[in-house]
């Protein structure tokens, strides 16, 4: 028997997109640094040659791979910029997409952050906070886990551990209607998998 808490990255909504953004940015940064370093080494080797320019091993042979390394640095820079642009695009369009109704949506946790990303715990702190943002971490019926931004009303309507019907659009939880009693299809499989 294996305990399963639903927080595994391989079951996370949007994990593949985040991995691609990280790969593009980190890989591009490594490639850029590597090829810029090679350019520097080649320039130093080219400048340190002391033989005559008309000799076959003259100063020009130190720069034989300069264009190749320059292209490598350019490709690495484009990877970083592409990863950054894809990340910004993903962030701006995260609440878009088709609206879908999810039966047996399970609320795993909920949290509220203020404009400085400080966790707000008490209702009084939430009430007096300026521009609080509300988030609900939940599990879909198929076992996928995601964190959804929501409104104040939906935040207060969904308690941790509740199961109900949710309306989701992208990463936005628009509505949550809790089930009274145990609904069909909801069992201990949310917590323990054999």
Query: Domain containing 166 — which CATH number?
Result: 2.40.50.660
| Domain end point (choices 48, 77, 92) | 92
Q: What is the DSSP letter of 21?
A: H
Give the tokens for residue 168.
Answer: 């989701």
Strands 163-169 and 172-178: antiparallel
pLDDT exceeds 50 at position 8: no
Is 0.75 topped by the overall pTM? no
Q: Are residues 107 and 134 in the same domain?
A: yes
Residue 106 pLDDT: 92
Q: What are phi and psi of 36, to 5 degrees?
A: -65, -40
Q: Are residues 88 and 139 in the same domain?
A: no
Q: Are residues 73 and 50 in the same domain?
A: yes
| Domain end point (choices 37, 61, 92) | 92
Q: Please report which confidence band the pLDDT of residue 3 belongs to, taking 50, 70 and 90 as the band edges.
A: very low
Q: Are residues 132 and 178 in the same domain?
A: yes
Residue positions counted in the chain: 194
Mean pLDDT of 87-95: 82
- Determine the structural domain holding residue 169 and report its residue range: 99-193
For 124-168, write each residue's pLDDT tens digit: 888 888 889 999 999 988 888 888 999 999 999 888 889 999 999
Q: Classify residue 2: in a domain, yes or no.
A: no
| Domain end point (choices 75, 92, 109) | 92
Q: Which of 190, 100, 193, 90 is nearest to 145 (CA)?
A: 190
In angstroms and rounded to an integer, the radius of gyration of the C-alpha atoms of the chain is 26
């Amino acid at each position: 028997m294996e305990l399963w808490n639903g927080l595994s990255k391989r079951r996370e909504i949007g994990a593949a997109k985040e991995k691609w953004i990280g790969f593009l940015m980190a890989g591009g940064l490594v490639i850029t640094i590597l090829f810029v370093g090679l350019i520097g080494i080649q320039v130093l080797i080219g400048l340190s040659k002391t033989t005559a320019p008309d000799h076959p091993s003259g100063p020009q042979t130190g720069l034989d791979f300069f264009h190749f390394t320059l292209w490598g640095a350019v490709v690495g820079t484009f990877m970083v910029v592409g990863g950054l642009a894809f990340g910004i695009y993903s962030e701006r369009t995260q609440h878009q997409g088709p609206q879908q109704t999810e039966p047996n949506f399970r609320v795993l946790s909920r949290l509220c952050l203020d404009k400085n990303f400080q966790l707000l715990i008490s209702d009084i702190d939430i009430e007096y906070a300026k521009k609080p943002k509300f988030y609900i971490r939940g599990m879909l019926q198929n076992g996928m886990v995601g964190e959804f931004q929501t409104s104040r009303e939906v935040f207060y309507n969904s308690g941790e551990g509740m199961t109900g019907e949710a309306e989701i659009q992208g990463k936005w939880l628009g509505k949550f209607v809790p089930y009274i009693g145990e609904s069909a299809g909801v069992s201990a499989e949310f917590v323990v998998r054999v």
